[in-house]
């Protein structure tokens, strides 16, 4: 019998299955989805069994055998193998890259080359290796030149060989435990404390962790004494890494649904009962109770013995969503997101794989949760661009969700207050069923929204980033003991440093972008490549001392707010949330300590639900309006509407203030009026005229190289290929420099293809990908093909 295996080599030249013979005695043990070790060339590497076959198309005598299997149960299901093939084909990527995206990073192979003695080695070789390494494994790359030279004769003779050791990236965590031997050891009649400890161990039906016994007051000395006297045994026992261990979640019973919620629930559960792969757009204004509908749909799914997947767009949203799900479903919930360690994510993944969890909550990658018999898939805030992966494989989680919905014949629910134009257009055409929630749950009303023209503020002498109306509103909330959320989508202290004598602005040496000043560490940072440089008191260009900082980021606004209101401020941005668990700690601090002001970037705009937040201020509503991207207006409307929904979600009424230099722009005015329908119609007219999505599909080609001439040559070649291969109905935009022409020393040029139907497109994309895969190896030219891009920058 033979197995078709994908090998762990991320190269286009081996992006195919290879046949291996299943050794005698392993037939029936190796199944589709197993990880295996296979010989490949002169090395042994990890691979994944994609298919089992009775015959092979190649000469059976020349086919190598599988060395061994790495698992008892397969890590990949048939469904995940099918998804891997689909994503690799659709997004023009390698199978192994998609498989490693589907599986937790813990399962990725860790390869190490070590030196060891061959069979029949000489005593001299053994002595030479022992002198270099002692008892430890010897890695050639860690040896100094002299040591390698001493071993060279034995490597040449074959007495010492180089072997690749393959280990799993992260292992199961274990800790020492003890158990009763249930037999008579040495007499304990005079050792009362040891008798007490033995009684505790005897009473347990399974081994007890030593650390738990120590925490209960028994010393290691006592435990060792019992072991020495023959009363107990020691064993390593697995410890499950639970990111929520020690947390107590109070029960949260289902709430009574209003008429609109009940209608939405009814339509979804009809599809659930009919085992129908139907997609619903749950279009509900902020605070309309979409989450309660999700929870009750999942409750029904669980009652029917099925499983459910819940996606949220941001790690910052996960803590509150996890709290709600844990309170409703307890230990049935597993959490999967990038904020967990490899070990924690691996253990949560195993809970799902082994059937110990029936609901997953997490960000984009949790769409690959290894559930069987999925009953519902829910994508909250479906419009968010974070559901599209920014590096290879550039899959969209909603496309995977649609695939899994069809595979399991279950409903897919896309929930949002501000649907993407593509999703809403599909609901208009009846491809998706739209369910509307037009009122806030209970008796709560939408907050009152006002717009402040910052140009007018400046004309009246106020040059602060805080307008007078917003300042008065914040002061009122502080006096009432209420809370304020402020949004500024720009981190750092100041946007840039400038010399007022010659106009020189320090730029990143690797990117075409000015450096941002961060006061906390007195440095100039690039937010693209991570370059960090010192702040100079004099201009690097003319040596003038007349240097200053311009623009305002969250770090500076935090300082302004503390001075202006003499109040505590919680700041949430990439700088303050970099360390693990900081999202949750900062939000808990804001809620539990009743800090008056929460200031943050767009990570605070969605999903937060605090009863005392009655004021939301958007310090610069124009941040996204001027981006060179056709979705700039849509993103602005979505961000403003989402952050507005944080105010007045409970008993207290809310207020929202937008600060802007474009008070008449339709994205801002229609966000103020909370009129999605009018925004949709206006924006769709622009998309139709400019021939953008959803009227056309897109593929974005981005070529990058350290040599700008190579970029120009490559984009010309791609442009010529497109002209020859695509129909006259398609539109080719470019080649042109990317809006940010150079990042991390790489020049970037792009071409945008707009098309409606191109039957040979996939074949052409694969051909270009193969060509530039080789060009990257030989000339350093990289081609990134983004199918259905969400960002054209």
Which residues are annotated binding-site positions?
499, 502, 508, 511, 526, 529, 539, 542
- In our burial notation (b when 16+ CB lie closer than 10 A, e otherwise), range 624-648 reads bbebebbbbbbbbbbbbbbbbbbbb
Close Cβ partners of 500 (under 8 Å, ≥ 6 residues apart): 544, 546, 547, 548
756 phi and psi, to 5 degrees? -110, -40
Q: How far apart (Å, rounded) are the C-alpha atoms in residues 152 and 719?
A: 53
Q: Give helix 632-644 / helix 676-690 axis angle, nearest 10°.
A: 170
Please give the structure tokens belonging to residue 683.
């924006």
**CA–CA separation, 527 vs 34, rounded Å?**
41
Among 735, 730, 765, which residue's Cα sits nearest to residue 750? 735
Two tokens, residue 184: 């008579």
Which H/E stretch holds residue 711?
Answer: helix 708-725
Contacts of 135 (CB under 8 A, 6+ apart): none
User: What is the Cα–Cα distance from 248 to 114, expressed in whole angstroms?
Assistant: 47
User: CA angle at residue 288 from 286 to 292, to 5 degrees?
Assistant: 120
| DSSP assignment letter at 732 | E
Q: What residues form the annotated binding site for Zn(2+)?
A: 499, 502, 508, 511, 526, 529, 539, 542
Where would I find the beta strands (DSSP E) of 686-777?
697-705, 731-743, 746-755
Q: Which are the contacts of 455, defined by CB distance < 8 A and separation ≥ 6?
A: 661
Q: What is the rounded CA–CA span in Å between residue 516 and residue 575?
A: 13
Q: With the C-alpha atoms ordered 260, 281, 383, 396, is the resulting torsion angle positive or negative?
A: positive
Backbone angles phi, psi at 363, to 5 degrees: -85, -165
- Rounded to whole angstroms, how far apart are CA atoms 9 and 507? 38
Burial class from Cβ neighbours inside 10 Å (0-12, 13-18, 19+) for residue 464 reads: middle
CA angle 628, 629, 631 (to 5 degrees): 145
Distance CA 560, CA 552 (A): 10
List Cα–Cα distances, 315 to 365, 463, 470, in angstroms. 12, 35, 29
Longest dimension (CA), the chain: 96
Buried/exposed code over 295-312 (b: 16+ C-beta within 10 A; e: otherwise): bbbbebbbeeebbbbbbb
What residue has token string 């899959």? 395
DSSP H helix total and E strand total for the chain? 22, 32
Q: How many CB atoms lie within 10 A of CB 499?
A: 21
Question: Is the bond preceding residue 735 a cis peptide, omega within 30 degrees?
Answer: yes
Strands 232-238 and 35-40: unpaired
Q: How far apart are CA 271 and CA 415, in angstroms?
A: 16
**Distance from the Cα of residue 693 to its chain's centroid:** 25
Query: Which pair of structure tokens corresponds to residue 441?
Result: 């749950």
Q: In this structure, are residues 116 and 33 in contact, taking their beta carbons and an 8 Å threshold?
A: no
Give 376's strand partners.
308
Question: Which tokens is 622 given?
Answer: 């124009």
Q: Assign 3-class secondary structure to 294-316.
A: HHHHHHHHHHCCCEEEEECCCCC
Let me know: does 419 contact 283? Beta carbons within 8 Å: yes
Give me the count of residues in the chain: 793
Q: Are 38 and 47 in contact (CB under 8 A)?
A: yes
């Amino acid at each position: 019998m033979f197995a078709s295996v994908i090998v762990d080599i991320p190269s286009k030249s081996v992006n195919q299955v290879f046949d291996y013979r299943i050794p005698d005695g392993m037939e029936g043990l190796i199944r589709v989805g197993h990880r295996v070790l296979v010989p490949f060339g002169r090395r042994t590497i990890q691979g994944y069994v994609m298919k089992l076959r009775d015959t092979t198309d190649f000469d059976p005598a020349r086919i190598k055998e599988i060395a061994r299997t790495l698992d008892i149960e397969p890590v990949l299901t048939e469904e995940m193998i099918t998804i891997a093939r689909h994503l690799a084909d659709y997004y023009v990527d390698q199978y192994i890259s998609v498989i490693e995206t589907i599986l937790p990073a813990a399962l990725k192979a860790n390869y190490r080359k070590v030196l060891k003695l061959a069979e029949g080695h000489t005593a001299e070789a053994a002595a030479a290796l022992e002198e270099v390494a002692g008892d430890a494994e010897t890695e050639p790359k860690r040896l100094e030149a002299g040591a390698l030279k001493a071993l060279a004769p034995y490597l040449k003779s074959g007495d010492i060989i180089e072997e690749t050791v393959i280990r799993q990236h992260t292992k199961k965590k274990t800790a020492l435990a003890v158990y009763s031997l249930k037999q008579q050891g040495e007499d304990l009649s005079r050792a009362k404390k040891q008798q007490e400890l033995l009684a505790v161990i005897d009473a347990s039906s399974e081994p007890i962790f030593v650390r738990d016994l120590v925490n209960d007051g028994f010393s290691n000395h006592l435990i060792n004494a019992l072991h020495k006297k023959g009363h107990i045994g020691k064993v390593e026992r697995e410890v499950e890494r639970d990111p929520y261990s020690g947390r107590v979640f109070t029960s949260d019973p289902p709430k009574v649904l209003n008429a609109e919620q009940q209608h939405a629930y009814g339509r979804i559960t009809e599809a659930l009962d009919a085992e129908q792969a139907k997609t619903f757009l749950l279009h509900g204004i902020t605070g309309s109770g979409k989450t309660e509908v999700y929870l009750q749909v999942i409750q029904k799914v669980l009652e029917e013995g099925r499983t459910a997947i819940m996606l949220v767009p941001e790690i910052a949203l996960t803590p509150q969503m996890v709290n709600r799900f844990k309170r409703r479903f307890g230990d049935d919930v597993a959490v999967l997101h990038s904020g967990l360690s490899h070990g924690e994510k691996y253990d949560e993944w195993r809970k799902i794989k082994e059937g110990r969890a029936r609901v997953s909550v997490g960000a984009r990658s949790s769409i690959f949760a290894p559930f069987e018999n999925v009953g519902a898939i829910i994508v909250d805030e479906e419009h968010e661009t974070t559901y599209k992966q920014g590096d290879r494989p550039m899959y969209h989680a909603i496309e995977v969700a649609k695939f899994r919905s069809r595979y399991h014949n279950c409903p897919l629910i896309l929930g949002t207050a501000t649907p993407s134009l593509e999703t809403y257009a599909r609901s208009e055409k009846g491809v998706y069923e739209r369910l509307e929630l037009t009122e806030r749950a209970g008796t709560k009303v939408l907050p009152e929204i006002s717009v402040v023209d910052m140009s007018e503020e400046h004309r009246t002498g106020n040059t602060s980033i805080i307008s007078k109306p917003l300042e008065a509103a914040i002061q009122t909330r502080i006096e009432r003991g209420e809370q304020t959320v402020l949004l500024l989508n720009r981190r750092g202290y100041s946007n840039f440093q400038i010399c007022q004598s010659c106009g020189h602005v320090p730029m990143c040496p690797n990117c075409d972008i000015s450096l941002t000043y961060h006061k906390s560490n007195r440095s100039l940072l690039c937010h693209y490549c991570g370059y960090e440089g010192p702040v100079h008191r004099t201009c690097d260009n003319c040596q003038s001392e007349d240097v200053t900082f311009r623009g305002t980021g969250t770090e500076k606004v935090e300082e302004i707010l503390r001075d202006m209101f003499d109040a505590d401020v919680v700041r949430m941005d990439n700088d303050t949330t970099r360390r693990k668990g900081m999202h949750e700690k900062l939000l808990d601090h804001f809620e539990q300590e009743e800090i008056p002001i929460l200031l943050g970037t767009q990570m605070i705009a969605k999903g937060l639900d605090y009863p005392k937040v009655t004021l939301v201020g958007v310090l610069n509503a124009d941040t996204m309006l001027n981006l060179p991207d056709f979705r700039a207006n849509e993103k602005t409307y979505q961000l403003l509407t989402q952050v507005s929904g944080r105010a007045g979600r409970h008993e207290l009424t809310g207020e929202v203030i937008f600060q802007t230099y474009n008070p008449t722009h339709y994205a801002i005015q229609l966000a103020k009026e909370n009129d999605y329908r009018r925004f949709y119609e206006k924006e769709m007219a622009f998309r139709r005229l400019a021939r953008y999505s959803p009227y056309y599909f897109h593929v974005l080609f981005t070529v990058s190289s350290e040599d700008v001439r190579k970029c120009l040559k490559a984009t010309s070649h791609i442009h010529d290929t497109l002209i020859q291969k695509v129909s006259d109905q398609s539109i080719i935009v470019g080649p042109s420099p990317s809006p940010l022409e150079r990042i991390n020393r790489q020049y970037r040029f792009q071409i945008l293809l707009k098309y409606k139907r191109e039957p040979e497109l996939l074949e052409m994309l694969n051909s270009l990908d193969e060509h530039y895969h080789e060009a990257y190896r030989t000339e350093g030219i990289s081609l990134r093909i983004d199918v259905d891009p969400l960002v054209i920058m």
